[in-house]
Structure 1
Amino acid sequence: MHAPRKALPEVDTQRCTGCGWCVGVCPPHVLSLQVQGTDRFGPKRSVLHDAPGCTGCALCAVRCPFDAIRMVRRDALKAD
């Protein structure tokens, strides 16, 4: 028996500004802002840090004012 298919947020780091709206609206708190690159003062971007905990509700994608998050079906993320 397979787990139900669900969509997970995929963040476009070119569009993400690190505003944090998606992090704030996420009910299971599976998104976080992380510094990109090696410079600790570099830009922050949204990252899905707990994919198994994601419910696939898509509130993050709906709330993002920069269209930086799209929901991708989980079976499309891996090719196995």
Structure 2
Amino acid sequence: MASERKALPVIDTTRCTGCGWCVAVCPPHVLSLAVVPGWQKKSTLHDEAGCTGCAKCAVRCPFDAITMQRIADLPPPR
């Protein structure tokens, strides 16, 4: 439930290599790989509402590209 969630993953696209490990370990399957300019794949949070905030993606990322940010500290959605 979103009200119980304390943090969301924030992906640093300059560190993300598109390896897909975060996508593989995400229990609610809210992360995916998306093609960005230059035809590179990068991880993206495609379903923020479905994220449980478990941080498995951040723990598994071998490139430290994912950090968990408290919801109160996130900028409002556009």
Q: Which residue of 1 aligns with 2:72?
A: 75
Are 1:31 and 2:28 counterparts?
no
Q: Which residue of 2 aligns with 1:60?
A: 57
Contact 2:30 2:45 in 1 (8 A): yes
Percent identical residues: 68
Gaps of 5+ in 2: none
Alignment: residue pair count: 74
Relative to the length of structure 2, the TM-score reads 0.89
How far does residue 5 in structure 1 lie from its aligned partner after superposition?
Answer: 4.8
Alignment TM-score, normalising by the size of structure 1: 0.86
* Aligned residue number for residue 6 of structure 1: 6
Q: For residue 20 of structure 1, report the CA deviation from its aligned partner.
A: 0.1
Deviates more, 1:26-35 or 1:4-13: 4-13
Structure number, greater radius of gyration: 1
In structure 2, C-alpha distance between the alignment counterparts of 1:5 and 1:55, rounded to whole Å = 6
Equivalent residues of 1:5, 1:75 under 8 A apart: no
Letter in 2 for 1:51: E
